[in-house]
Amino acid sequence: MKKILLVSLLSIIAFADFIGLTPAQVQKKIDTNVVIIDIRTPSEWKDLGVIPTSKKVMFFDPRGNYNIQAWMDKFSKIVKNKNQPFVLVCRSGNRTSNVGKFLSEQLKYKNVFHIQNGIKSWIKENRKVEK
């Protein structure tokens, strides 16, 4: 019984590579120089602003289309290896949820984070954005 429980716990830990964070937790990551990657569109960056130090790398275009290879080419220049921690940002957390799961589950990146409820939660807490 103990072996089954241990295996179950290890499985949960091994696959817990994608984690949602609160704005306060993201700020702590920023304070330790973890890279922030904003995957929204240019019009969204302009309308709502971006978290200072964010790298802007649009994933989905305004029509919902995407080019994984083109995005990964840009992404891999920022995130140099699969162990480097990074935080994904979108408007409400839906897009980063999909992209984060893809990166952690399919491409086996470790330390993948995203802001729960996106930039909207960051703004709601009156945290700084740049326009």
72-125 pLDDT tens trace: 999 999 999 999 999 999 999 999 999 999 999 999 999 999 999 999 999 999
- Distance in angstroms (rounded) separating the CA atoms of residues 79 and 106: 16
Looking at domain 17-124, its CATH class is alpha beta
Backbone angles phi, psi at 52, to 5 degrees: -50, 145
- Tokens representing 32 are 């330790």
Secondary structure (DSSP) of 39-80: -S-HHHHHHH-B-TT-EE---S-TTS---HHHHHHHHHHHS-
Residue 17 binned pLDDT confidence (cut-offs 50, 70, 90): confident
Contact status, residue 29 vs residue 73, Cβ threshold 8 Å: no
Would you kindly state where each structural domain of the chain is located, as residue ranges?
17-124
Residue 130 above 70 pLDDT?
yes
Rounded to a whole number of angstroms, the CA Rg of the chain reads: 15
Residue 15 binned pLDDT confidence (cut-offs 50, 70, 90): very low
| Rounded average pLDDT over 55-69 | 95
- The pLDDT tens digits for 34-55 are 999 999 999 999 999 999 999 9
Residue 15, CA atoms < 13 Å, CB-side half-sphere: 9
Residue 10 above 80 pLDDT?
no
- Distance in angstroms (rounded) separating the CA atoms of residues 111 and 67: 23
Residue 26 binned pLDDT confidence (cut-offs 50, 70, 90): very high
